[in-house]
A = this chain, B = another copy of it.
Amino acid sequence: MAKIVRANTNIALIKYWGKADEALKIPTNSSLSMTLDNLYTETSVDYQSELSEDVFYLDGIQQTGKSLERVQKFMDYVRKEYNVKEYALITSYNHVPSAAGLASSASAFAALAKASTLHLNLDDEALSRLARVGSGSASRSVYEGLVEWEKGKDHETSFAKPIPNSDWPELRMVICFVNEEKKKFSSGFAMQETSQKSAYFDAWVKQSHEDIVTAKKAIEEKNLNKLGTVVQENALRMHASLMAVNKWYFEPKTIEIMNIVETLQAEIPVYFTMDAGPNVKILTDEAHVDQLLNHLKEYKTMVCKTGKGLTVYDEL
């Protein structure tokens, strides 16, 4: 029986937004994330000599079309890179709402990178590089807690690693669900439109470099106000760079929640971030979660702590 790999998703605190290399997903800027503890993908890869192509089941449903193709393309890369000869039966269960800006591809490809190479016992850096080829943000889901993906300049140098001494058990990410349906357009498309056409893209990249430095300093100091401020500003700049090409993920409720958080900021440390989608994630700490939730009673929420990196277990 194939072993099962669990990968948690992660939320970027400093966003990955723009590719220097589309195929290998080398980014234009470094990013920084928090791996979450209860949104994850579980995947097993069973290589079978009798298969004539990869077969992929997601949440119990055999996949076809683009969903299958993306996984097959990744598996082709694994076969080529690691000299694997067989096709595989891939079984995945997603405990993340798909395609609504909750980065399900991050946990999906991190789990798949590990599950497809279990026999090779790759180190974390190699797994992070491999996961990146599947989905950029997956490079970060290899690790627990707070993680930095250094942009690097090629396949060898572009991988994530844990931020040293970043253990911060009081940190919380409150996910506020605005819309769990498929997003208006894919993050890949939005990123490409922005990097190719936005008047603000160059400034976004430049400012991101500074934001990473600020965020790492804040983490070193365990300074939530400092970290939250740069996290919120960075998210707004990401969305602003997209808005400059006449596209937006905001929905009315996104603004409602942004306004609630902004008002609360006068009293408690709460800071929002949004990925490529309308949902809002709110960074705070354990001591302030209840007060925050009191103001979000109208919304479906989920409170996350920092979560583990990749874990492997036998099927029960």
Evaluate contact between A255 and B250: CB separation under 8 angstroms: yes
A70 to chain B, nearest CB (A): 28
Query: Which one of A7-15, A25-33, A108-116, A237-245 contacts B?
Result: A237-245
Evaluate contact between B255 and A251: CB separation under 8 angstroms: yes
> What residues of B have a CB within 8 angstroms of the CB of A239 in the complex?
240, 243
Known: A199-B203, A200-B203, A203-B202. A243 touches B250 (CB 8 A): no
A246 beta carbon closer than 8 Å to chain B: yes
Known: A199-B203, A204-B199, A206-B199. A243 touches B252 (CB 8 A): no
> What residues of B have a CB within 8 angstroms of the CB of A256 in the complex?
252
Q: Give Cα distance in the complex from A250 to B255, angstroms.
A: 7
Known: A199-B206, A200-B203, A203-B199. A243 touches B254 (CB 8 A): no
For this chain, the copies found in one complex come to 2
Judged by DSSP, the binding face of A is: helix
Interface code A214-244, partner B: CB below 8 Å = 1, 0 otherwise? 0000000000000001001100110111011
Interface code A252-275, partner B: CB below 8 Å = 1, 0 otherwise? 111110110000000000000000
Q: Give Cα distance in the complex from A241 to B203, angstroms.
A: 11
A93 beta carbon closer than 8 Å to chain B: no
Most buried by B among A200, A229, A246, A253: A200
Q: Contacts A199-B237, A251-B259 given; 5 further ones with Cβ under 8 A?
A: A200-B204, A200-B244, A229-B246, A239-B243, A252-B252
Which A residues fall within an 8 A CB radius of B?
199-200, 202-204, 206-207, 229, 232-233, 236-237, 239-241, 243-246, 248, 250-256, 258-259
